[in-house]
Amino acid sequence: MSVSADRRAEGLLFLLAFGLCIPAANWLIGNVGTVCVPGGPCLIPVAPGLLAPSGVLMVGLALVLRDMVQRRLGLGWAAGAVLAGAALSALLAPPALVVASAAAFLVGEAVDLAVYTPLQRRGLVVAVALSGVAGLVLDSLVFLLLAFGSLDYFAGQVVGKLWMVLASLPLVAWLRRRDERLGLGPA
């Protein structure tokens, strides 16, 4: 397989993983947690004394995967993935969370895209980290305000998503080094 074909195959794999984060987040929030609030989300500990809805793990990962889709397949694919992801989020979210889930996904991923795009050529790891932080903060604000009318879980949401962004940075750094070795840059 050529480098171009490898790059495309890797991009499609990132796109598939990005898409799978959406149903996983929606399923987790209603089914997995150390405590499930009646009429509310299932919660997981993300730091000592700090709980967050369990879907935060997949949302944090989705922010990074969107960046990798853009790196491998280009801006058009990434923008399309954001729109498709928002629609998928609306389709798969529990009825009470449809608007919150879709709006938060759209806002968070769009902000991630807007921050990542100008920064990616300056430094991949920094671009992924900063765009992830921007996306996760806005995603958390929009989701919590629309879903629950409260920012009670805001700190937990931010920390939970941040863990996933930080956990992905070594892989992102490895991809950057490999791309440099192969003479590849952003799509």
The 10s digit of each residue's pLDDT in 11-52 is: 999 999 999 998 898 889 889 999 998 877 899 999 999 999
**Inter-residue contact 112 to 67 (CB < 8 Å):** yes
Count of domains forming the chain: 1
pTM over 0.85: yes
Higher-pLDDT residue of 12 and 121 is: 12
Within a domain: residue 168? yes
Domain that holds residue 71: 3-182
CATH number at residue 102: 1.10.1760
Q: Per the domain annotation, does 21 fall within a domain? A: yes
Does the residue 160 lie in any domain?
yes
Is residue 82 included in any domain, yes or no?
yes
Domain membership flag for residue 187: no
- Per-residue confidence (pLDDT) for residue 3, from 0 to 100: 64
CA distance 107 to 31: 25
Q: In this predicted model, what pLDDT tens digit does every residue of 100-111 receive, in sequence order?
A: 888 998 999 899
- 76-79: which pairs have CB atoms within 8 A and are 24 or more residues apart? 77/11, 77/15, 78/113, 79/113
